[in-house]
Amino acid sequence: MQADGQMKTGRDLVIATLLGAEEWGVATAALVAGGCIMMRKCHLNTCPVGVATQDPELRKLFSGKPEDIVNLFQFLAEEMREIMAELGFRTINEMVGRAQFLKKREDIQHWKANKIDFSGILHVARNATGETLYNTEEQDHGMSMILDWGLVKQAKLALDTKTPVFGTFLVKNTDRTIGTLLSNEISKLYGAEGLPDNTINFKFEGSAGQSFGAFNTKGISFELEGEANDYVGKGLSGAQLAIYPAKVSTLVPHDNIIIGNVALYGATSGHLFINGMAGERFAVRNSGATAVVEGIGDHGCEYMTGGKALILGSTGRNFAAGMSGGIAWIYDINGTFRENCNQEMVDLDPLESEDETTIIALLKRHILLTNSERASYILNNWATEKVRFIKVFPREYKNVLRKKLVVA
Amino acid sequence: MQQEGLYNPEFEHDACGVGFVAHIKGQKSHAQVKDALTMLENMEHRGACGCDPESGDGAGIMIQLPHEFLWEECIKLGIQLEEPGYYGTGMVFLPKESELNQFCRTIIQEAAEERKMTFLGFRSVPVNRQGIGPTALGAEPEIIQFFVSRPDGVANTEEFERKLYVLRRLIIQKVKQKQSYPLPLYIASLSCKTIIYKGQLTTYQVGSYFEDLRDTRVVSAFGLVHSRFSTNTFPSWSLAQPFRMIAHNGEINTLTGNLNWFYAGVRSLSSPYFTAEEMEILLPIVDKGQSDSACLDNVVELLLHSGRSLPHVMLMLVPEAWDGNTQMDPLKRAFYEYHATLMEPWDGPAALCFTDGKTIGATLDRNGLRPLRYAITSDDRVVVASEAGALPIDESTIIKKGRQQPGKIFVVDMEAGLIRSDEEVKGELVRQQPYGEWLDNYKIKLEELAEPRVTFTYLSKESVFKYQQSFGYSREDLETILTPMAVTGYEPIGSMGTDVPLALLSDQPQHLSSYFKQFFAQVTNPPIDPIRERLVMSLATFIGNAGNILIEDKKFCHCVTLEHPILTSSELEKLRSIDTGVFQAKTLQSYFRADGKPGSLEAGIERLCRYADDAVRDGFEVIILSDRAIDSQHAAIPSILAVSAVHHHLIKTGNRGAVGLVVEAGDAWEVHHFACLLAFGATAINPYMALASIRTMREEGQLDTELTWDQLRKNYVKAVCNGLLKIFSKMGISTLQSYHGAQIFEVLGIDKEVVDKYFCGAVSRIGGLQLDDIAKEALAKHWRSFENNRSPKSLLPEGGVYQWKRRGEGHLWNPQTVHLLQQACRTDDFQTFKKYSALINNQKERIFTLRGLLDFAKHRTAISIDEVEPVSEIMKRFATGAMSFGSISHEAHSTLAIAMNRVGGKSNTGEGGEDELRYQKLPNGDSMRSAIKQVASGRFGVTSNYLTQADELQIKMAQGAKPGEGGQLPGHKVDEWIAKVRHSTPGVGLISPPPHHDIYSIEDLAQLIFDLKNANRDARINVKLVSKAGVGTIAAGVAKAHADVILIAGYDGGTEPLPSVRLNMQVFLGN
Amino acid sequence: MGKPTGFLEFDRAAPQKDAVESRKQNYQEFVHLFSEDQLNSQAARCMDCGIPFCHSGCPLGNVIPEFNDAVYDGKWEDAYNILSSTNNFPEFTGRICPAPCESACVLGINKSPVAIEEIEKHIIEIAYKKGYVKPNKIHLKTGKKIAVVGSGPSGLAAAAQLNKAGHDVVVYERDDKVGGLLRYGIPDFKLDKSVIDRRIEIMAESGIEFRTNAEVGNNVPASELSAYHAVVLAGGSTIPRNLNIPGRDLKGVHFAMEFLKQQNKRVGNSPINVAEITATDKNVLVIGGGDTGSDCVGTSNRHGAKSVTQFELMPQPPQTRTAAMPWPTYPMLLKTTTSHEEGCQRHWSISTKEFLGDAEGNLRGALVVDLEWETDALGRPTSFKEVEGSQREIPCELVTLAMGFLHPQHEGLLQQLGVTLDGRGNVQATENEYKTTADKIFVAGDMRRGQSLVVWAISEGRECARKVDEFLMGSTELESKEAVYNYA
């Protein structure tokens, strides 16, 4: 249990502890020790002491030193110790949650404050079983049986020697967060760089649980035959994910849902290919991943700041709300897209030649990975179908790219 | 569960997995039941368990009555059941204690006889307790069934269901007469069509516990299942779902208001389907002490039995976003608008599955905040669930896979044997009545009304100054609040939180609204983005008589409709002078005698309430509460008090639904003031003083703008409206109608009796001002302008809330404390630090914080300081706050990190990633790596490697300084460096959404914790919550979601972070 | 607020001053006013801090960010109203205040502080020009009569405030003209006496009665005060610190005030009834490194002194802040005043051992010695010893002693009233009450707190007036610099 919020002195911390906190956060006081003078202008980028600003000139004025902040925490701890000695506590742990060591001050004269009833705050909950009041047990995160242990085992050669590995696994909706632990292992060994593309090539069959491919990093290439739930490719960090319906399925992919809501949330890099429709908030806050999908729900590409989305089918309402960067191309077969797009921050433009190049390359890759019929159709009839594409281009992003061109 | 300490059962939340399996043609089979249970088991991870893993939070199943099975089982017990549809089956939880048990059984029989139903007998439901956890067993009731036969003259099953409904309410009523809450008896279902098996079980236990469910004779055309994840830590069998009509995954954020409005209208309830006697039995329809879902179920049930179809009822209660949707079919708009004049939406994230035994369906809230996936197979089965794949189906048989969309409905008509789509269902309902025509004929549009006969006199500069003084305006209010609102159309923004005293501790006479702290959504429901997702938001306002919700009548839409609740002075005059023959407004003077005598304010309020009664009796449709007519003898009743008092008084007398309550308020200028007024019952507000102040400033040349008065006024109103949307959305509420009367505030510093009388239902936990004290504060302002002044002032008071001012409000961070702290730290001087802390701690003269009012109670003898654990150990427990590189400079950020690494504490990346350069140690051995990596709603720079580099991962559910709001880093602040760290493009602005889009409820949070634990199993997962009433309950839920650390952050710095920490400590710390 | 980025765009600027040679020719003020643009950009430098340390640093509690903002927006009347809500006489403080506010200005942490004092001066000058400064005619009279003894800044502030509260106020001044130290202590080139006259006129029009040449305890019996409902003593700290060394009695050794007062009378065409002291063609030695010393320097130069030398016992202060004087405290830094610009030799760490005279008893020189100071860890001087062999004689024909003041004059008024004195010889009053030990008698300004700044004197006068009003009426509505609330 941690507590923070305007804690400034050792006394504050002791009270927090008696009320149940085992650890404490100190924010403002640490900033003040480092030179903040409470300008309350953090949002204006004009902080005159170089604390809350990115202005290079103003940043030079920052004069805080680590020693100042170390001193603050030493003082706070020392002050706590003084009070602890007075109250007869040897350790923090024995102090946690002992609200009976607090009482309302007896000398409150203030005409309003003297009406306060502290009984609720100072109430000491019954503890018939004599449980400790501080953290003594660890949470069981239910990870002992997860699929990823199998993945890590299968990927041993790749992890040790970067040799490509292959494997197939059956999944069901209770298999959640696939590939995340594996990615952790890769990051531990290889940092942000990860493994070379297509080093770990695993195929899954069935219905994947939530967070399929979450935070999956470079070197991973997953294929899922079947379907997936919410949060596919959340925080995608360089991996490639391809999802297509079961071979036996007779469904028309672009009319049927295959992955759930909120795919690619906060993704920074990597690829996602979906032969089918996705739910609401596809690619929300994507900042670098590239995605191909055959239809999506409401609020598509919301808050997107980078990356690419190729949507080969219908979108729901409020597409591109808060989208400040990246590009989306929509295959607007019904001519309904304009109505569904929130155009406050984006322009709807025709394709330029470089868009065409990118789209064609993505379509080819999509076909290769998911065997998409719609992609094949478009590619085969590119001359007639390309006019159906609308490019969604955030204005701010466009301006920045243009400026870069001018500079180059 | 009783209120204890700061705990209040009303703070409980839950969320869940939900779903059903149904045969489109209504074919019954046991396989259907089995499949439903399998589906339930596969949603285990959406439920939760408490301290003991074998006790679930609750799970259950609703199926059709298995007639053959029951008939055979009853024969064994000597009970002869009637034909299907001719007997009702009750599923009841009884207390085990024999006397009470017998008492309940007797009441059931008596009640049945009284309702002229033959009581057929009881059947004990066989259960298998193996593997059920001790917590659940400790609270296990005796589960029985009882059977009654259909009385003669009851024409059909619908009518019989209605009679059974009355019977159920009668049983409850009879128990209530003898027993207090919580009632010993709970009726899970009583129907001739359906039956519910549920309990405090895990998903796996439902099938094993109820032996009936394993019997192959138990057949049904559908199985509706639910698995619950509750923040609740106390055993409760009755809170398990499904309920009688619905199973709900989500949260009704507006419950208090919904219930208030519901109770406000019960007096006018009448229906051709119920006799007056029956109606009397049904009241109050919704019982106290139930969950939000249970309350919703009660209302669904009432509306259904009053003749509306189940889809109709669902659309009325959980409508899709219609206001402002220009693409919507006009007929559908009219349908929604007509129903909006009757009832406000029950708003919040909701995936709702519903059934009346013959049709089964699902609908989603307007925001689509809960997942619901479906599949239809070639052998006529429909599978709907929170997750795809929850029930394994042969892929080759699937002919359609989809997801439920925001605001859409989906119905399986098992009698007709077909699925009806959203378009079909709604297409039919919207044509039921000529709703559009009714609206055209009866709706009053203010802008179409003639100019008022009298216009209010223009206030001179002198009177404006006088009014400003008596309503408590400060220079800061004019300069930093009103001016930017009028000039830019937006609310001003500030930084660094607040360090001023709570209203209750301040010496300055306070605005009464300052005692009200807004709630905000965290974990259990998501805030909404009122800018980017404006299309779901609505400020539509209806002024007039709301009518009887049980019947459809064109007269009910005879009301004034407004786009938003802020009235300009000329609009108010129009409203004041409306006279359509049956629609008229009455103005009441909202003042009290300014004599400073005890009881004067109370007398003033009572007088106001009495006049309001008279106005309703005299048939006025609108009451205008005005505080314009103040003078040296009469002071204004603070508007929030006047409105809330009248609002609750009219609710108590059952008349609130009959009138619109408009406030002509001099003391409303900040958005918070408006939010308070609306949340405590005002229908519309005319802020005449705020508007006059802006006008005067413009005329005096004090506004540096070319804008005309008209533009300034529009801007101000726009700023208020936008601000209101922001406040609603922080709570996850989309419409003003739902916010109206929702009382989503914690009261800090008003006496409980006052709150119970005038703000009934609001949370007040530390006591505070009585009415005479409120009067005293009001008079301190009033007399500034109305006393015979010897030294009249030419300036308003400075204020000093947003900025330290010598004559203004006190701040703990002030020139002395900042200077002393910096001096102490720079010169390593503990003595100077002691001077600093003495200034902060010594709150004898001036009080800032609740903790300042506390003293240590010495129960032990002092020890030598040498015996206390060393500084070096204590310092490991410190963390710095989460501040992003982006909000603060690299220099400041890395200095904090180095310092924390030196002392063994933890610094925090804040939202926005971390430069990999900082993972390398510096030549002197220092490290700039932050031990805590934050995961916030923007997810900037959150990669596998970033997560791997953490000792602790912090999920920022809310931010103390601005809970429930997103953030925006403007393009000019995104330089090359920041863009690199955030994985974005330099120069392109970055918006953080208000919610985590992967956390709309508690079970989603559990999922994210699981994700992060997978991403770095060596890191502690920390969930940062912001303190508010009930945060302890949420924290308990978060602990159940497997967080390793919970951080309770202070709310606004002003409200104490600490009190709430107390709550439920054992429960989650022991876990 | 005005302009968020103003401090990044504009540097601190001072208004133009007349050239040294020309200004030395007369006794007029020589600092010009800012142009409108200059003033605007100076006001734009104010950062509207969350914690305005300036506002805290000002003894009057001037609400500086607010008036800066008003100036930036050109809202002159607002600026005047804000300023005058805390300060009765901005025209005095705007000219002669050492501006502790500027020392506390946040911008001063790493740049030059906002030119607050200049802005203050401009606000009031513009207010006079535009006619905002009007007599305060009160219709609600209380019928209470109050005597204020002393017409220096604290007496005047008390009188103005008490008049505002509806009382009848009579101000006694022993000199021929009202103003106290403002009139006869501060040279005209720093504070033109028309500035005082202008203010006194407004005060008189507001109903305040001024009685000059009326020294209570001397030509006015102290018993006359018993006719008043309350009395405010504001006589200042007038007894100067002496230098009791051999030769002190020589002709040509004077207290600074004797020298300055004469000159002010000369400029103001008032009769000087004592032997005249001039610096013309003399080598002048000013002992004391403070503002009064500096005034002696400027006046001597205007007299046409042959040379001007200023001594200070303490070591030369640093040019920038040291650890001992961190921001936002008022730092003891090396200060070069406009008078120093006009020509002066300055010596620090120097002690005068003896004044040397000629046969006629006229001063001809001083025997001086250099000092060596010990300092503490933070560099603060603690003790000194003379530097061996540094003793020398310097020629001088005029010495002014500007070493500060000790306490008020005890003879006459104070003795007759029988008020208790504190250990330092000032009139004793409880810290916040301003009430002396004698019935109905209050005290304010230097007479109470010892020698201090004009800005403190005004503050004392204002706060004392509140106490008097409260004493007479039971409550007061006069502004305070601190937060006060009235609940019934």
Pair (C209, C266) in one structural domain: no
Task: Out of C130, C155, C187, pick the residue that ends a domain.
Answer: C130
Please say if the pLDDT value at position A26 is more than 60.
yes
**B814-845: pLDDT as tens digits:** 999 999 999 999 999 999 999 999 999 999 88
Q: List all chains that touch chain B, counting a touch as 3 or more CB pairs closer than 8 Å.
A: A, C
| Residue A139 maps to a domain | no
pLDDT at residue B51 greater than cutoff 60: no
Note the pLDDT of residue B942. Answer: 96
State the pLDDT at residue B964.
Answer: 57
Task: Tell me the average pLDDT of chain A.
Answer: 94
**Per the domain annotation, does C478 fall within a domain?**
no
DSSP C361-377: SBEEEEEEEEEEEEE-T
Helix (H, G, I), strand (E, B) or coil at B46: helix
Query: Is A225 near chain B, with CB under 8 Å?
Result: no
- Residue C299 inside a domain? The answer is yes
* Pairs of residues, one from chain B and one from chain C, whose beta carbons lie less than 8 Å apart: 105
Instruction: Provide the shortest C-alpha distance from residue B93 to chain C (in Å).
Output: 58
A65 and A108 inside one domain: yes
The CB-side HSE value for B982 (13 A sphere, CA atoms) comes to: 35
**Chain B residue whose CA is closest to A190:** B945
Q: How many distinct structural domains can be found in chain A?
A: 2
Task: Give the residue among A248, A243, A250, A194 at the shortest CA–CA distance from A220.
Answer: A194
Q: What is the pLDDT of residue B548?
A: 87
Please tell me the predicted confidence (pLDDT) of residue B1066.
26
Identify the pLDDT of residue B233: 55
- CB atoms C326 and B814 under 8 Å: no
Domain hosting residue A33, numbered range: 2-115
From-to residues of CATH 3.20.20.70 in chain B: 461-490+531-744, 878-1069
Q: Within its chain, how far is the Cα of B462 from the centroid?
A: 43
Query: Last residue of some domain: A93, A115, A137?
Result: A115
A-B contacts at Cβ under 8 angstroms: 632
Asked if pLDDT for residue C331 goes beyond 90, the answer is yes
Is B92's pLDDT higher than 80?
yes
CB contact under 8 A, B807 and C49: no
Contact B853 A284 (CB under 8 A): no
* pLDDT at residue B967 greater than cutoff 80: no
Q: Is A129 a member of any domain?
A: no
pLDDT tens readout for residues B458-515: 789 989 999 999 999 999 999 989 999 999 999 887 655 568 888 999 988 999 999 9
Find the CATH number of the domain harbouring C253: 3.50.50.60
A119 contacts: CB under 8 Å, gap ≥ 6: none
Tell me: do A190 and A66 sit in the same domain.
Answer: no
Q: What b/e sequence results for B468-478 when a residue is b if at least 16 CB atoms lie within 10 Å of its CB, and e otherwise? A: bbbbbbbbbbb
A124 part of a folded domain: no
Mean pLDDT along residues B706-735: 93
CATH number of B878-1069: 3.20.20.70
Cβ–Cβ below 8 Å for C63 and B798: yes
Mean pLDDT calculated for residue range A372-382: 97
Gap between the Cα atoms of B281 and B275, Å rounded: 10
Q: With CB atoms and an 8 Å threshold, state whether C109 touches A37.
A: yes
For residue B877 the two structure tokens come to 């427990």
Residue C284 contacts residue C311 (beta carbons within 8 Å): no
**pLDDT at residue B1029, rounded to an integer:** 78
Q: How confident is the model at residue B1058 (pLDDT cuts 50, 70, 90)?
A: very low
Distance (Å, whole) CA B44 – CA B59 = 10
Query: How many other C-beta atoms are found inside a 10 Å radius of the C-beta of residue A152?
Result: 18
Cβ separation C486–B827 shorter than 8 A = no
Task: Based on the fold, state whether residues A344 and A217 are members of the same structural domain.
Answer: yes
Summarised one tens digit per residue, pLDDT across range B363-412 is 999 988 899 999 999 999 999 999 999 999 999 999 999 999 999 999 99
* Domain carrying residue C35: 6-130
Cβ–Cβ below 8 Å for C110 and A111? no
- Is residue B941 a contact partner of residue A305, using CB atoms and an 8 Å limit? no
**Contact residues for B740 (Cβ-Cβ < 8 A; gap 6+):** B257, B261, B344, B678, B679, B681, B683
Report the pLDDT value the prediction gives residue B646, as an integer from 0 to 100.
97
Asked, for residue C139, whether it belongs to a domain, the answer is: no
Tokens representing residue A325 in the block:
């960067």
How much is the ipTM here?
Answer: 0.94
Q: Do B495 and A256 touch (CB under 8 A)?
A: no
Query: Is B461-490+531-744 in CATH node 3.20.20.70?
Result: yes
Residues C314 and C301 occupy one common structural domain: yes
Q: With 90 as the cut, is the pLDDT of residue C117 above it?
A: yes
* Statement to judge: residues A99 and A164 lie in one domain: no
Residue that finishes a domain, picked among C403, C437, C457: C403
Question: B1044 vs A139: CB contact, 8 Å cut-off?
Answer: yes
Q: Across all residues in chain B, what is the average pLDDT?
A: 90
User: Do A316 and A381 lie in a common domain?
Assistant: yes
Task: Judge whether C486 lies within some domain.
Answer: no
Which chains does chain A touch, 3 or more C-beta pairs < 8 A?
A: B, C
Q: Is B339 exposed, middle or buried (0-12, 13-18, 19+ CB in 10 A)?
A: buried
Is residue B1002 pLDDT above 90, yes or no? no
Given a cut of 50, whether residue B133 has pLDDT beyond it is: yes
The reported pLDDT for the residue numbered C129 is 97
Q: Is A40 on the interface with C (CB under 8 A)?
A: yes
Share of residues in chain C with pLDDT > 70 (%): 99
> DSSP characters for B205-242?
HHHHHBGGGG-TT--BSEEEEEEEEES--S--STT-S-
Are B620 and B657 a contacting pair, CB within 8 Å? no
- DSSP, residue by residue, A306-324: EEEEEE-S---SSBTTT--
Question: Cβ contact (<8 Å) for B971 and A297?
Answer: no
pLDDT-wise least confident of A81-95, A119-133, B461-475, B582-596: A119-133
Mean of pLDDT over chain C: 95
Q: Closest residue of A to B825, CA-based?
A: A68
pLDDT for the residue numbered C149:
98
Q: Which CATH number fits domain B9-439: 3.50.50.60, 3.60.20.10, 3.40.50.720, 1.10.3720.10?
A: 3.60.20.10
pLDDT at C145: 98
Residues C259 and C355 in one domain: yes
- The whole-number average pLDDT for the span C169-195 is 96
A395–B contact, CB cutoff 8 A: no
Q: Considering only CB atoms, which chain C residues are within 8 Å of A63?
A: 110
Question: Are C253 and C394 found together in one domain?
Answer: yes
CATH of the domain at C125: 1.10.1060.10
pLDDT band of B1060, cuts 50, 70, 90: very low
Residue A99 sits in the same domain as residue A217: no
Chain C: residue nearest A40 by CA? C50
Longest Cα–Cα distance in chain C: 76
User: Looking at CA atoms only, how far is residue A71 from chain C in angstroms?
Assistant: 17
Q: Render pLDDT for B204-262 as a digit per residue (tens, 0 to 9).
A: 999 999 999 999 999 999 999 999 887 665 668 988 999 999 999 988 888 888 988 88
Domain final residue, candidates A98, A115, A132: A115
Query: Looking at residue A221, which CATH number applies to its domain?
Result: 2.160.20.60
The rounded distance, in Å, linking the Cα atoms of B155 and B151 is 10
- Cβ–Cβ contact A49 with C under 8 A: yes
In a domain, A59, yes or no: yes
Whether C482 maps to a domain, the answer reads: no
CA B940/CA B949 separation, integer angstroms? 15
In terms of domains, do A319 and A228 share one?
yes
Structure tokens that stand for C261 in this block: 């007062």
Residue C467 included in any domain: yes
Å between C486 CA and nearest CA of chain A:
13
* Amino acid identity at B844: K
How many whole angstroms separate alpha carbon A406 and alpha carbon A401?
Answer: 9
Residue C288 has pLDDT above 50, yes or no: yes
Contacts with B832 (C-beta within 8 Å, 6 or more apart), sequence order: B820, B823, B824
Which pLDDT belongs to residue B495? 59
Q: Compute the distance between CA of residue A43 and CA of residue C50 in angstroms, rounded to an integer.
A: 13
Q: What is the pLDDT, as a whole number, of residue B961?
A: 52
| Candidate from B44-58, B633-647, C258-272, C400-414 with smallest mean pLDDT | B44-58
Residue A189 C-alpha from the chain's centroid: 22
What is the per-residue burial (b if ≥16 Cβ within 10 Å, else e) of C169-188? bbbbbbbebbbbbbbbbbbb
> How many independent structural domains does chain C possess?
3
The whole-number pLDDT of residue A41 equals 85
Q: Which of B944, B1016, B1042, B1046 to mutate to test the interface with A (most CBs of A within 10 A)?
A: B944
* Boundary residue ending a domain (C369, C403, C437): C403
pLDDT surpasses 50 at B155 = yes
The whole-number average pLDDT for the span A318-328 is 96
pLDDT of B1062 higher than 70? no
Of A167, A234, A176, A239, the C-alpha closest to A204 is: A167
User: Does the structure show a pLDDT above 80 at C311?
Assistant: yes
Reported as a single tens digit per residue, the pLDDT across A216-265 is: 999 999 999 999 999 999 999 999 999 999 999 999 999 999 999 999 99
**Which pLDDT value is given to residue C488?**
59
Residues C208, C270 within the same domain: no
pLDDT of residue B497: 58
Q: How far is CA C357 from the centre of its chain?
A: 34
The pLDDT-based confidence of B1053 (bands split at 50, 70, 90) is: very low
Determine which one of B16, B104, B557, B721 is catalytic: B16
Q: In what order do the strands lie in the sheet with B622-626?
A: B585-589, B622-626, B660-664, B684-686
Between B172 and B1066, the higher pLDDT residue = B172
Q: Where are the beta strands (DSSP E) in B125-221?
A: 142-149, 186-191, 194-199
Q: Which of A39, A61, A111 sits opposite C49 (nearest CB)?
A: A39
Does A337 share its domain with A378?
Answer: yes
DSSP state of B372: -
Q: How confident is the model at residue C93 (pLDDT cuts 50, 70, 90)?
A: very high
- Examine the pLDDT at B1052 and tell me if it is beyond 50: no
CA distance A159 to A219: 10
A87 touches chain B (CB under 8 A): yes
Please report the residues numbered 105 through 144 in chain C whose beta carbons come closer than 8 angstroms to any beta carbon of chain A.
Answer: 106-107, 109-111
| Span(s) in chain B for CATH 3.60.20.10 | 9-439
- Residues A196, A283, single domain; the answer is yes
Neighbours of B904 (CB within 10 A): 15
- Cβ separation of A88 and B824 shorter than 8 Å? no
User: Within this chain, do residues C78 and C200 fall inside the same structural domain, yes or no?
Assistant: no
| pLDDT value of residue B1064 | 28
Q: Is the pLDDT of residue B1071 over 50?
A: no
Banded model confidence at residue C223, pLDDT cuts 50, 70, 90: very high
Name the more confident of B159 and B535.
B159
Q: Which residues of chain C neighbour B497 with C-beta distances below 8 Å?
A: none
- Which residue numbers of B have CB closer than 8 Å to C's CBs? 475, 479, 495-496, 507-509, 596, 701-702, 704, 776-777, 779-780, 783, 788-791, 793-795, 798, 802-811, 813-816, 818-819, 822-823, 826-827
The answer on C232 and C149 residing in a single domain is yes
The yes-or-no answer on residue B295 being catalytic is: no
Residue of B nearest to A11 (CA): B841
